Amino acid sequence: MSAIIFNDILYHILSHITADIDIQPTFESCFPSGASKSNTARCTLARLATAHSSFTKPALAALWGFLPSDKALKHILWVIKTEEDSPLENYEAVVTHGPSWTRFQEYASLVRTITIDPSVRTAHGQYPSKLRHGTFWARLSSALGGTPILPGLKSAILFSMHHFGEYDFDMGSLCLLNPSIHDLNVLFLGVGRGEQGNFRTVLSTCLPSATGHTLETLSVIVPVPVLDINAFPQSYPRLRRLKIDEGGILPEQLTLLATLPDLEYLSIVLPPFEHLHIPVVFPELRSLEIFSYAFVWIKLLIAHMACPKLQSLFISETHPDSDDTYSQELSDLLRTVTSKYPSLMAFRWDNRDITSAGMESASKAGMTLAELFDPMLSLRAMRSFSASFIGPLIPYSPSDFQKMAEAWPELETFNLALAGSGPDQYADLQSLASFARHCPRLLELRIPTIKFNPSDTSAPFVGSPMPHWLQELKVAKVALPTDEFEEVTRQQTVLLGLAKQVFPSARINFPVIRNRLRSRMLMAGANIPDKRI
């Protein structure tokens, strides 16, 4: 839903309700910096709704099911203040009686997901930062005698953009978690080696006491190791989804994670390692994500990792641009992937080049796109394919797309991003026709370059089913036989019309056409309207 529509609904609702408590939230509390327009509208509605009682129960439940912060809850208890106005320790006494407390209990019981930012600005000159205890939520939890503040909470996001060494951590905010929580996401990018000890204290408080044995989803994205992986099998036996990005998972830790009986999704970073002596079996794993800075570590892991039910594989790797053996090694790895994971339905490969420094790769693949991914063409159930390469340069032509379209009739998304723009790197109208003929379920199609010749506009579409219900077609570059602005505009418009014949429901995104003379005039300050198709 667009932000404009959301704001229209917001103001419509507010125009039909009357306040029963005289509370006016400030603009600072309603419009947090950096929030998107849609989130701002939702946040505003959440704040103002605390002062109104004429919402129906379904509307309340939908509104308060997710809270972007705990400020709306504090507002009900009339304690909204900022750290600049008053330190957290100076909040007025917690009130657990009266109309505001009744309203708080009603609204708090509706919260299912909450985002918590526990960072508190450190007082001037007070470094290093510290863990703050006895703050507002801690005092409220104490007053409740251990009863959960948010009894229906199922999911929480612990998130901060601030550096952990420069901001205090409000330990009391962890009291918003409760033993019944199922999903916990921790994202702190500002944790350095010097703060490891304090952050481990945070997680030891957060994980065992707040989640216990009910945790099913855990995501921890922190730059340094802070988790006790050895305790996972005993502490969190119900884990179904696990993402760990904190420096890397060692082979022996991977063996421990394999003992989690219900694990279906795993996302890990591979650190340097040389040996993985025994097979590691994940009997229930459906989705695997691997991030690595060395191709050899990925090969070693795939060779020793058994996932009989794997359906989705995402690999992100980095390699030197000068590696001439990369293409053949990748093809060999894909052959191993295909043989070990025959039920694969989604595949994504992201490639990063550590030597090109943003420049176009100098190495050549030595094989075409279809040849490189030939081992995977036997996976007839493939529904989602995505490949992104900064290097090497991979040649591709309409015949490559035809082979891939014919091989994957169940395809729903095809996303290709390749470096280079050479004469041996292009798709054409025939490529679009191949997907239209062979992939009736295709919803998203993204390709790097289409070469278009206006002299051949009909033959490729003969026999294509009409229409095809593709939802999005995105082309990064259109190669035309001319660079004259008016003719380029005309030819690209013709191409757009032909694409619309086959994909009438699709959002078609072609690159913007700019006149070179017009661009120079714009730089000089002339006000000339842009021409877009």
Predicted pLDDT of residue 132: 83
Residue 54: both structure tokens together: 């004429």
| Sheet strands side by side (includes 131-132) | 119-121, 167-170, 131-132
Burial track 339-359 (b if 16+ CB lie within 10 A, e otherwise)? eebeebbbbbbbbebeebeee
Look at 136-150, 316-330, 410-424 and tell me which has the smallest mean pLDDT: 316-330
Task: Phi first, then psi: give them for residue 444, nearest 5 degrees.
Answer: -135, 125
Contacts of 489 (CB under 8 A, 6+ apart): 513, 531, 533
Average confidence (pLDDT) over 107-126: 81
Residue 123: both structure tokens together: 């007082």
In which band, very low, low, confident or very high, does the pLDDT at 239 lie, cut at 50, 70 and 90? very high
pLDDT over threshold 60, residue 30 = no
Taking each helix axis from N to C end, the angle separating 516-523 and 485-502, rounded to the nearest 10 degrees, works out to 110
Share of the chain above pLDDT 70, in %: 73
Q: Which residues pair with 95 in a beta bridge?
A: none
Angstrom distance (rounded) from CA 158 to CA 136: 17
Average confidence (pLDDT) over 61-89: 65
Q: Parallel, antiparallel, or unpaired: how do β-strands 384-389 and 413-418 relate?
A: parallel
pTM across the whole model:
0.81
Angstrom distance (rounded) from CA 360 to CA 350: 16
Q: Would you call 277 exposed, middle or buried from its count of C-beta atoms within 10 A (0-12, 13-18, 19+)?
A: exposed
Angle made by CA atoms 419, 424, 430, in degrees to the nearest 5? 105
Angstrom distance (rounded) from CA 432 to CA 266: 35
Residue of 301, 306, 230, 309 whose CA lies nearest to 268: 301
Residue pair 213/207 in contact by the 8 Å Cβ criterion: no
Predicted pLDDT of residue 458: 53
Look at 174-188, 192-206, 366-380 and tell me which has the smallest mean pLDDT: 192-206
